[in-house]
Amino acid sequence: MADQTTKLPSFGPPGPVRQILRQREPLNSEFPFAELSQFITPSDQFYVRSHFPTPSVDLKSWRLSIEGAVRKPVSFSLDELKQLPAQTRMVTLECAGNARMYLMPKAAGVQWDLGAVSNAEWTGVILSELLDRAGVRAEAVEIILEGADEGTPDEPPKPPGKIRYARSIPLSKVPDVLLAYEMNGEPLPASHGAPLRAVVGGWFGMASVKWLSRIVAATQPFLGYFQTTDYAYWQDDAGQPVRVPITEMKTKAQIARPAPGEIIARNSHYRIVGAAWSGDSDLSKVEISTDAGAHFTEAKLLGPAVRHAWRLWEFDWQTPISPGPVTLFARARDAKGATQPMARDPKYGTYVIFHVLPMEVIVE
Amino acid sequence: MADQTTKLPSFGPPGPVRQILRQREPLNSEFPFAELSQFITPSDQFYVRSHFPTPSVDLKSWRLSIEGAVRKPVSFSLDELKQLPAQTRMVTLECAGNARMYLMPKAAGVQWDLGAVSNAEWTGVILSELLDRAGVRAEAVEIILEGADEGTPDEPPKPPGKIRYARSIPLSKVPDVLLAYEMNGEPLPASHGAPLRAVVGGWFGMASVKWLSRIVAATQPFLGYFQTTDYAYWQDDAGQPVRVPITEMKTKAQIARPAPGEIIARNSHYRIVGAAWSGDSDLSKVEISTDAGAHFTEAKLLGPAVRHAWRLWEFDWQTPISPGPVTLFARARDAKGATQPMARDPKYGTYVIFHVLPMEVIVE
């Protein structure tokens, strides 16, 4: 018998799912959020969001230029950037469309599940270091970050012909911007923007421009395609809707395990785990409901708080004695008291999905 | 025979065409430009451009409010406005979509021929008079003009629900804005914005907000629907297209007679007539070509130059000896030397159609 068993084919235990592809060209893929087990997301699991095909960058000729409202336009090769003082920062990036799959009715766009969010350690030079060398003039109000990736966007009103991906930040946001050439201690991968990407702590990922090639100090708020048509929403301003760009991430908790529809043993201990984060404010607590929102109990936050990085959390759940479906909620709160809302705010269109998501599991 | 003739039915000579309807609801109708014969367009011929249904305004309760970044928010009844110093100004308004009918390929939107332009004498109170009473604060950069007309616009990205029509002007444009309650010496008609409309000299008509009900001093450039989605275009700014509102009218001449396709006697004198205008600059000359653009000869400008009003012009044409089709051009030039271009600039999309239009007539 023993001999026969060893002859049967076997795979061994399955390895983790690395990424889930959502779109091949341009490349969009997400972290399988149920695989969350560590604070730092391995680079090959970190979600990838692209708007245009990955540009081929020739390192021999590549330079980062800084121009516009500056006293002295300058440019840097990658080697020159690496000779400047380096910083390493832990920053969580979340795509503004993360969890779009849960919108009802179905929204247009990449159908992200919960995994368009990841956390990495980024190393590079801080933006202010470069701006100081160029000398930003007093009339500048914003910094435009432009990538080398280009293409023709779809949504009207659309610009004529090809454009390069670009987003802006106000001067007040500059201290939170790192220009990274390393990710998790290794050279930045091509899909994450090599040779250089912006990492804008606290803001949705669309601000962290990849394949960074040009920085422009602007004297007017930038009204590019990805600030007005895309990644923008209508905000009421004294009775008139005005078009404003999406910026800061919202306070939010997500459950990694159990996974949606997971079958759980009755009358036992189950460790609910997940991550939670907040934009520029500090996360203060995560609360769990195991009775469809009737009662909330505080989860345990793990590890130290790191500004602009997510926090893992866990919650010991004594599962019900009787079998049946159970709806779980995780709800985050920030230090200023802002709590995740229970209902969707439709003003954000297909973006900024941060209401508390019900997760149904099955107790058997 | 004479008796018999008098018994035949007769209409007498036809009266002028008053207006050509382009859309019933909201009301859009144009001046039949071939009827141009006088400097002032009669009010019942002046083109009508509406975005939403004509609002019903109750004069008993109507007030114009001035708010936002002002030291003292104020409001005025129509009687109170009429007690303030009045001004009368001659101002030509042209719809930003005038001549859209001539775009190839056909553009979406109201199919305006040449008559979405008219000139009237407007009487009212100047905007600066009212702003002085409210006291605009130093941090204000724009003035938002809001009408009482409201509805749901069509073009994406579109705001959620109903909005009121609104446009803004920078503070530097305030001196050119009259708030008119009279048109050509009579009370302002409902279709032209009664009880009060803005008249913004030099800018396309979309700035001259009708049914004016609210004025807001704003500390940021206004990014409303009619500044970003509609009445806006992509302008290149250092290699990035940015969305900017349409503002100033362009230097432009239009031929009224002959009309397109008009049959003209050979070897005779024909008086070509038309009008020409410029935005905030001064019209300097109008030139006519009767040989499809090979040669241009100056036309005669009639009457005195009035800032922000069109100018009538005429040109004595010795028609060809041989019959056949002839292409006419009229081309305007402003005092700064800007000349109407011969080709369409596609960046303006379905608006700002100011290239020289060929007009074919038939010599017999």
pTM higher than the cut 0.90:
no
Helical (H) or strand (E) element with A146? strand A142-151
Overall size of chain B counted in residues: 364
Look at residue B68 and tell me whether its pLDDT is greater than 70: yes
What is the predicted pLDDT for the residue at B284? 97
What mean pLDDT is reported for chain B?
A: 95
Of B163, B232, B238, the CB nearest to A216: B238
Of B159, B160, B234, the CB nearest to A159: B234
Whether A229 has its CB under 8 Å from any CB of chain B: the answer is yes
Distance from C-alpha of B159 to C-alpha of B227, rounded to nearest angstrom: 12
Cα-based angle A170, A173, A179 (whole degrees, multiple of 5): 110
Distance from C-alpha of A306 to C-alpha of B242, rounded to nearest angstrom: 36
- SS3 assignment, position A153: coil
Question: In chain A, what residues touch B144 (CB-CB under 8 Å)?
Answer: 240
| Residue B1's pLDDT band (cuts 50, 70, 90) | very low
Cα-based angle B285, B287, B291 (whole degrees, multiple of 5): 175
Distance from C-alpha of B284 to C-alpha of B281, rounded to nearest angstrom: 9
Give the HSE-up count for residue B343: Cα atoms under 13 Å, Cβ half-sphere: 3
Overall size of chain A counted in residues: 364
**Structure tokens, A169:** 């930040």
What are the C-alpha distances in Å from A39 to residues A31, A187, A276, A277, B180?
A: 13, 20, 11, 12, 65
* B339 secondary structure, DSSP code: B
Judge contact between A99 and A357, C-beta under 8 A: yes
Q: Do B224 and A232 touch (CB under 8 A)?
A: no
Distance from C-alpha of B328 to C-alpha of B333, rounded to nearest angstrom: 17
**Structure tokens, A204:** 């949705």
Of B159, B232, B242, the CB nearest to A222: B242
Give the HSE-up count for residue B346: Cα atoms under 13 Å, Cβ half-sphere: 7
| Contacts with B177 (C-beta within 8 Å, 6 or more apart), sequence order | B126, B127, B128, B143, B169, B198, B199, B200, B201
Distance from C-alpha of A133 to C-alpha of B251, rounded to nearest angstrom: 44
What is the predicted pLDDT for the residue at A1? 44
In 10 A of CB A138, how many CB atoms? 7
Q: Is the peptide bond before A157 cis (omega within 30 degrees of 0)?
A: yes
Average pLDDT value for residue range B332-360:
95
Question: In chain B, what residues touch A160 (CB-CB under 8 Å)?
Answer: 234, 241, 346-347
What is the predicted pLDDT for the residue at B8? 80
Judge contact between A102 and A353, C-beta under 8 A: yes
Q: Do A228 and B243 touch (CB under 8 A)?
A: yes
What are the C-alpha distances in Å from B299 to residues B188, B271, B331?
A: 34, 10, 10
| Chain A nearest C-alpha distance from B29 (Å) | 26
Of A166, A214, A240, the CB nearest to B144: A240
* A248 secondary structure, DSSP code: B
AA identity, residue A38: Q
Helical (H) or strand (E) element with B336? none
Alpha-helix residue ranges (DSSP H) falling in B138-290: 225-228
Alpha-helix residue ranges (DSSP H) falling in A137-267: 225-228
Look at residue B269 and tell me whether its pLDDT is greater than 50: yes
Question: In chain A, what residues touch B156 (CB-CB under 8 Å)?
Answer: 155-156
What is the predicted pLDDT for the residue at A2? 47
Interval B309-341: pLDDT, tens = 999 999 999 999 999 999 999 999 999 988 999
Mutate to test the interface with A, among B234, B345, B348 (most CBs of A within 10 A): B234
AA identity, residue B225: Y
Q: Which of A195, A167, A354 minimizes the C-alpha distance to A279?
A: A354
**Structure tokens, A101:** 């799959």
Question: In chain B, what residues touch A245 (CB-CB under 8 Å)?
Answer: none
Average pLDDT value for residue range B77-94:
98
Segments of chain A with pLDDT less than 70: 1-6
What is the predicted pLDDT for the residue at B2? 47
Tokens 């009224």, located at residue: B256
